[in-house]
Amino acid sequence: MTATGTELPAWELPVTPTLVVSTALATRDFQDVHHDRDLAQGHGSQDIFLNILTTTGLVQRYVGQWARDALGDGFVIRSCALRLGAPAYPYDTVRFTATVTDESDGVLTLAVVGEVVTSGPTNGMHHVDAKVVVVP
């Protein structure tokens, strides 16, 4: 079993314009700030940015790939609670890290952070902080 304090390997994801637009459309999010740079900037944003549904999926992908290797194919993500922080824009990289914060009765709780890695003003800021509960 995985012990409290276990750190997951980091995963870095380059954010491209195609990733932002395609995942917004795939999640049926038609807000212009996820598709149209000019309109996003007109609303005060630097550029288009990842939507919350995409970020949720990325957090679950990150934890899920680790869990498959560490726990086997039978795992279930029981819950994923998250809070968004800094936007993730095209040409940023989001670096995901996580730590197992609790292991009780075989249920794992992980603290996940997605940090923006860029040369811009959001460098080092958290794009997402999440709590994910996994059952083996």
Contact 16, 90 (CB under 8 A): yes
Q: Please indicate, yes or no, if residue 32 is contained in any of the structural domains.
A: yes
Domain count, the chain: 1
- Which residues are CB-neighbours of 122 under 8 A, at least 6 positions away? 86, 87, 88, 89, 92, 116
Q: What is the CATH number of the domain that holds 32?
A: 3.10.129.10
108 domain-assigned? yes
* Residue 96 within a domain: yes
**Structural domain contains residue 5:** no
Q: Please check whether residue 3 lies inside any domain of the structure.
A: no
- Per residue in 80-102, pLDDT tens? 999 999 999 999 999 999 999 99
- In a domain, residue 79? The reply is yes
pLDDT in tens, 106-134: 899 999 999 999 877 888 999 999 999 99
86 part of a folded domain: yes
Summarised one tens digit per residue, pLDDT across range 48-63 is: 999 999 999 999 999 9
Residue 17 belongs to a domain: yes
Q: Which domain holds residue 76?
A: 11-135
